[in-house]
Amino acid sequence: MLTHRLALVTGGKRIGRVVAEELARAGADVALSYRSSKQEAEETAARVRDLGQRAIVLKADVSQPADCAALAADIQREFGGLDIVVNMASTYVSRPLAEIDEQAWRDDIDANLSSAFHVTQAMLPMLRARPQAHIVNFTDWLPASGRPGYTGFVAYYVAKAGVKALTEALALELAPDNILVNAIAPGPIVPPPDLDAEEREEVARATPLQRWGGEMEIARAVLLLVTTGFITGETLRVDGGRHVR
């Protein structure tokens, strides 16, 4: 499906690793950016190469416009262009409201919202040079459903709600360039490392499908959204039905 297509994935570990592998399995070459997880990014790149595709690993703090500009220049030099951007870089930090100072607020907004904007803006010249290009952003099933759900995540929730709005605004703005912009809103996909067995089971019970989704569900959603020619401005919830309960 993606032969001769060039993709950027920001974040190459856990779910991002499987997304990169499936993009490669479909025929794409993959650029991986990382901020601190170099080893994981290199391991993901090795898996992409094992599938017969090119892979490059580039260090960048994608919350910083200058790093995004440098990332774009590196991709242009190494790949000669870009067709697909998958904005997966994110943080997930719980903070009581009283502990959200200016820096904590800025950190959450920059990591979860501003990063998607800065990466997209930096990659636009390459995307516009293609007959058709795709951008996939990552929000969260709760803001995609219009409800915060849990206390302790004010800044995270606001940032991820902003990603949905960003996706819709970019879809309209970039439609004349035939750049399709969509978002994925994951629910219970992979248990965080700090969840014990009882907590993992509790999440599964709260999900109508009674299980965690697994990384491949996100990879399949990404493949759908980077191969469509007519879906744009959409946020796809991959949450096992959590939003209907």
3-state helix, strand, coil in the chain (%, to 5): 50, 15, 35
Phi and psi, residue 179, nearest 5°:
-105, 115
- Exposure string of 149-160, with b = 16+ CB inside 10 Å and e = fewer, is eeeebbbbbbbb
Which one from 92, 150, 156, 157 is the annotated catalytic residue?
156
Distance separating alpha carbons of residues 108 and 85, to the nearest angstrom: 21
| Distance of alpha carbon 106 from alpha carbon 111, whole angstroms | 8
The total number of residues shown for the chain amounts to 245
Cα separation, 222 vs 225, whole angstroms: 5
Phi, psi dihedral angles at 58 (to 5 degrees): -135, 130
156 in catalytic set = yes
Q: Catalytic site residues?
A: 156
